[in-house]
Amino acid sequence: MKIPLGGVAAPGSSRLNKTGGWRVFYPEFLHIRCTDCGLCQKLCPEGCVFRQDKKVYYADMDYCKGCGICAEECPVDDIEMKPEVR
């Protein structure tokens, strides 16, 4: 999506930007201690965390920008940020 200089993106348009290209770190969902609290999904600013099954969450890497909020907020440290290898 092209945003004009000084312009503002239209609301709800974040899915048009594949923000995964910004990533320097990526979240690794360990699937060991997850309690299914859903915080990672609720707090991800890109809305790119999905629940695949009970206690199994994953991030859509096309959109994950590697901000680390999910890992920081996971109450049982079941998400680790790892350096991205490109």
Q: Which residues of the chain form contacts with ligand SF4 (CB under 6 A)?
A: 27, 34-40, 44, 46, 48-49, 57, 59, 64-70, 74-76, 78-79
Q: Which is nearer to ligand SF4, 6 or 15 (CB)?
A: 15
| Residue count (the chain) | 86
Residues 53, 65: contact at Cβ < 8 Å? no
Q: Which is nearer to ligand SF4, 1 or 33 (CB)?
A: 33
Smallest distance, ligand SF4 to C-beta of residue 6, A: 26
In three-state secondary structure terms, 58 is: strand
In three-state secondary structure terms, 60 is: coil
